[in-house]
Amino acid sequence: MISMPNPIITASLLEDWEDSLTSQDSELWEEINDHCADFCNASPEEAQAFMDELADNGITTEQLVSSINGQSTKRHSTASSHW
């Protein structure tokens, strides 16, 4: 039988991890949480790995937000053009 993680412990670990972030990393994590629903249940390890991957590829918080906003705008304009 697969045991499910305790959501209280997981939330506590995530909060501790969030508290340990630099202000720059904290800003990035807030943007990821605000715009990427896939990460709402991420473990600290998964979240850090994603943030590290962004950094390794030279993607800044501003670039991430700009890309997300561009995709959102494209979706809205495509959807409205069908009406």
In the chain, the percentage of residues whose pLDDT exceeds 70 is 72
Q: Residue 58: which region, alpha, beta or left (left: phi > 0; alpha: psi -120 to 50)?
A: left
pLDDT digits (tens, 9 = 90+) for 59-83: 999 999 998 888 655 544 444 444 4
Specify the number of domains making up the chain. 1
What pLDDT, on a 0 to 100 scale, did the predictor assign at position 83?
Answer: 41
3 within some domain:
no
Does residue 53 fall inside a structural domain? yes
Structural domain range at position 67: 9-81
Q: Mind spelling out the 3-state secondary structure of the chain?
A: CCCCCCHHHHHHHHHHHHHHCCHHHHHHHHHHHHHCHHHCCCCHHHHHHHHHHHHHCCCCHHHHHHHHHHHHHHHHHHHHHCC
- Residue 4 in any domain: the answer is no
Residue 71 located in a structural domain: yes
Mean pLDDT of 31-51: 86
Is the whole-model pTM more than 0.75? no
